Amino acid sequence: MTTLALTVLGRGLVDPTQPVLRADDEALLRGRAAFETTRVYAGKPFRLDDHLARLSVSAARMDLPEPDCLAFRDLVAEALEGIGDASLRLVWTPGPSDGEAPVGFAIFGAIPAGHEELRARGMKAISLPIGVPYELRAKAPWILGGVKSTSYAANMAATAEAKRRGADDAIFLAEGEIVLEGPTTNIWWRSGQTLFTPSLETGILAGITRDFVIEAAPALGYSIEQGVYERSELAAAEEAFTSSSVRELMPVIWLDGSALGDGRPGPTQAALQQALRRAAATGSARPES
C-alpha cells in the first residue's frame, strides 16, 4: 500500500516514514490492538461514525482503554485536505504492557490497483473450515469472533492459501459447513429476489458495507434473509458476492472449483455497487430512497 498521509493522536500530521510505536507495543508483540478500515470517496470517509463505534466495541472486547472517538474524528479531518479517493485505516493500541500509553493513528493509503479488473471478471473463492461451532465463535469472549483486532495473520494466511489453490480469496466455514465470512469480507448470495447472508449470531464481523446492503436492497427489489446456512446453499445460489469497505461489492463466480450461478458477475452485485457509489458521493452515505 502506498501511504498518502499519517496522523497520530496528540501529534497531528506525521511524516509516514517516521516511527510511531515502541518496539514493546502490545499491538506488535501480541496483536492486541483494534483497527478499522474504511474508504474515502472524494475526500469523504464512508460512515466514519459507524467505524468509530465498531472500533470502541472491538477495544472493549479486548479490554483495551476506550478510544476517544471525537479525537479520532479530528485526526481524520486533519489529514483529509488534499486526499481524494483513499483507504483509511484507524489503529488503536494500548501501547506497552508496562504502562498506560495508548496510541491512536490514522493511515491514508492509495486504493490498491486491480479491484475494478477483479470486479469485472469476478472472484474465485475456496471454502476453508475453521473447525469451531458457530455458537462458540459468537459467544466465547476468548475467541473474539466479530472483533477487528490486529491479530489478522490467520486471515491473511487463508487468503494466501486461496491463492495457492488458484483462487482469489477464501470463505470460512464453521463446524458443520456453516458459512461465516471471508478473511476481510462478508458474504452474500441470491436466489430469486432474496439475498441471503450469515446472521451476526454466527460470530462474524458486523460489516458496515453489510449494513449498507441491508438498507439499500429493498429499494432495488430484493428482500434480505439473515440466518445460519450451510455451504451447499451458497454453492446452489444464482449469484454471490462479498461486501467490504475498500473492495466494496465484489462478485464471486466460482466456489471450490465449480461455477456459482452462471459463472459470471450477476446483476444484483452490479446494482448494489452502483447504489453504494451513489450513496458515497452524497456524503450522507445512506442509500437513496
Query: 190 vs 210, which CB is nearer to ligand PLP?
Result: 210
Chain centroid to CA 93? 19
Instruction: Give me the least distance between CB of 146 and ligand PLP, in Å please.
Output: 8
C-alpha cell at 242: 462479498
On whether the CB atoms of residues 254 and 125 are closer than 8 A, the answer is yes
Query: 22 vs 56, which CB is nearer to ligand PLP?
Result: 56
Instruction: Give me the least distance between CB of 76 and ligand PLP, in Å please.
Output: 16
Instruction: Give me the least distance between CB of 181 and ligand PLP, in Å please.
Output: 4
Alpha-helical segments (H) within 42-176: 48-61, 69-80, 115-121, 134-139, 153-164
The DSSP-derived string for 216-249 is: HTGGGT-EEEEE--BHHHHHT-SEEEEEETTTEE
Query: 22 vs 222, which CB is nearer to ligand PLP?
Result: 222
On whether the CB atoms of residues 231 and 179 are closer than 8 A, the answer is yes
Instruction: Give me the least distance between CB of 185 and ligand PLP, in Å please.
Output: 5
Instruction: Give me the least distance between CB of 19 and ligand PLP, in Å please.
Output: 25
On whether the CB atoms of residues 108 and 8 are closer than 8 A, the answer is no
Query: 124 vs 210, which CB is nearer to ligand PLP?
Result: 210
What does the binding site for ligand PLP look like in residue numbers (CB under 6 A)?
37, 148, 181, 184-186, 205, 207-210, 243-245
Query: 5 vs 213, which CB is nearer to ligand PLP?
Result: 213
